[in-house]
């Protein structure tokens, strides 16, 4: 992975909250979740979008969000709402918004547009902190351009696989958003591409929604698939999906202890000029240490 000086934020669970619902926004602020995105896009009808901006601003300014990352999902750059969404939210919430999530980009120019607009607003308002950018990859064009999107601007922190719109964009035959049988895993190829691009650019890769919130086992299985290929979290569309995501995307304490032990063993061997050693019947070398270092980095971020 490329070295990154981006803010390190937890994204094991990203909760979607319709920006029109004061009740759900209030509930979201009370939950122990890494990240909440207040939605101005698909969960808000066109006629309600302008009003939802103020509802979100009031929630960001008025509620105690604790350590939760406060994100706002805005409409895409082809719509008449995108620029007003970003301007209204940043001017209204200022330092109380941490990141903006851009929807449906096609190529890097969409990200560069949002990046420039945010830079102008930060300058105009004299903001003390930089607002982060996250973006969905949910169009086939974006998947083809995922590498250039990942490297589009320094502000970008995270790529999210939006499988609902992506399935539609590719013309896939699916009925339930997030369920991915094929015969194998229908979303393996796009998820994998996205994760490679994200890692190479020093970004977090996050998995999108699973609509059937009364199927916790199906949801957990999708979390495990995402974790295995290098993603750091998954969306929750309902509060009941937060706990399973936190469970899957947090390493077990014994795995963390083992990782720290393996790295210590490797460092000791390295100091003695030895490249690979036998530790309890398993080989430990530089590559092993790197894999274990990922677990330790996650544990440090979580505070384990
Ligand atoms: N964020 C915050 N609170 C939520 C929530 C969410 N995404 N989804 C449900 N809740 C709250 C409900 O308001 C309810 O609160 P209460 O116990 O204080 O009354 C509680 O959690 C239980 O909700 P439940 O009755 O089981 O669900 P529902 O019928 O109210 O809502 C959905 C179901 C699917 C409509 C709702 O979860 C939702 O709108 N999810 C987000 C959809 C979205 O953002 N989609 C776009 C991105 S994919
Ligand atoms: Mg979408």
If one counts the domains in the chain, the total is 2
> Could you tell me if 176 and 257 lie in one domain?
no
Predicted confidence at residue 286, as pLDDT, reads 95
Predicted confidence at residue 213, as pLDDT, reads 97
Q: Is the CB of 237 under 6 A from ligand 1?
A: yes
Closest CA to 19 of 64, 32, 48: 48
Separation of 189 CA from ligand 2 center, angstroms? 18
Domain that holds residue 277: 253-302
Mean pLDDT, residues 46-65: 97
76 pLDDT band (50/70/90 cuts)?
Answer: very high
Q: For 102, phi and psi rounded to 5 degrees?
A: -95, 135
> Could you tell me if 217 and 284 lie in one domain?
no
Separation of 8 CA from ligand 1 center, angstroms? 28
Residue nearest to ligand 1 atom 24, measured at CA: 238
Tell whether the model's pLDDT for residue 2 goes beyond 50: no
> Could you tell me if 101 and 66 lie in one domain?
yes
Look at residue 25 and give its three-state secondary structure. helix
Predicted confidence at residue 175, as pLDDT, reads 84
Which of 218, 248, 278 is the last residue in one of the domains?
248
> Could you tell me if 21 and 127 lie in one domain?
yes
> Could you tell me if 189 and 298 lie in one domain?
no
Relative orientation angle of helices 49-62 and 82-93, to the nearest 10 degrees: 20
Closest CA to 98 of 135, 129, 137: 129
Which of 232, 248, 264 is the last residue in one of the domains?
248
> Could you tell me if 160 and 268 lie in one domain?
no
Ligand 1 atom index nearest CA of 164? 48
> Could you tell me if 164 and 123 lie in one domain?
yes
> Could you tell me if 78 and 181 lie in one domain?
yes
CATH number of the domain bearing residue 117: 3.20.20.60
Q: For 131, phi and psi rounded to 5 degrees?
A: -85, 130
Separation of 165 CA from ligand 2 center, angstroms? 5
> Could you tell me if 141 and 243 lie in one domain?
yes
Ligand 1 atom index nearest CA of 16? 44
Ligand 1 atom index nearest CA of 236? 7
Q: What is the value of pTM for the model shown? A: 0.96
> Could you tell me if 61 and 33 lie in one domain?
yes
Ligand 2 (ion): which residues have CB within 5 A?
138, 162, 165
Please, what is the average pLDDT of the chain?
Answer: 96
> Could you tell me if 222 and 276 lie in one domain?
no
Q: Is the CB of 177 under 6 A from ligand 1?
A: no
> Could you tell me if 72 and 90 lie in one domain?
yes
- 86-137 pLDDT, tens digit per residue, is 999 999 999 999 999 999 999 999 999 999 999 999 999 999 999 999 999 9
Which of 224, 248, 272 is the last residue in one of the domains?
248
- 181-221 pLDDT, tens digit per residue, is 788 899 999 999 999 999 999 999 999 999 999 999 999 99
Predicted confidence at residue 99, as pLDDT, reads 98
Closest CA to 20 of 66, 50, 55, 46: 55
């Amino acid at each position: 992975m490329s070295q990154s000086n981006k803010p390190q934020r937890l994204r094991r669970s990203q909760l979607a909250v319709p920006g029109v619902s004061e009740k759900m926004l209030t509930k979201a602020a009370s939950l122990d979740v890494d990240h909440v995105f207040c939605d101005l896009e698909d969960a808000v009808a066109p006629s309600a979008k302008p009003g939802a901006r103020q509802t979100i601003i009031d929630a960001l300014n008025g509620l105690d969000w604790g350590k939760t990352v406060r994100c706002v999902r805005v409409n895409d750059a082809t719509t008449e709402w995108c620029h007003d969404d970003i301007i209204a939210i940043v001017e209204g919430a200022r330092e109380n918004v941490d990141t903006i999530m851009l929807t449906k980009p096609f190529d890097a120019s969409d990200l560069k547009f949002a990046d420039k607009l945010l830079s102008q607003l930060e300058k105009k308002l004299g903001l003390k902190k930089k607002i982060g950018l996250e973006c969905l990859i949910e169009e086939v064009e974006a998947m083809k351009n995922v590498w250039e999107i990942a490297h589009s601007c320094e502000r970008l922190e995270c790529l999210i696989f939006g499988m609902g719109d992506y399935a539609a964009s590719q013309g896939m035959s699916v009925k339930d958003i997030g369920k991915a049988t094929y015969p194998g895993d229908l979303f393996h190829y796009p998820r994998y591409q996205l994760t490679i691009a994200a890692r190479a650019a020093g970004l977090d890769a996050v998995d999108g929604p699973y609509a059937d919130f009364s199927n916790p086992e199906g949801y957990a299985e999708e979390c495990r698939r995402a974790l295995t290929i290098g993603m750091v979290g998954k969306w929750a569309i309902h509060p009941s999906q937060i706990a399973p995501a936190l469970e899957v995307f947090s390493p077990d304490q014994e795995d963390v202890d083992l990782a720290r032990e393996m790295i210590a063993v490797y460092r000791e061997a390295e100091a003695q000029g030895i490249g690979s050693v036998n530790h309890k019947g398993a080989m430990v070398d530089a590559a092993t240490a790197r894999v274990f270092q990922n677990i330790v980095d996650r544990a440090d971020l979580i505070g384990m």
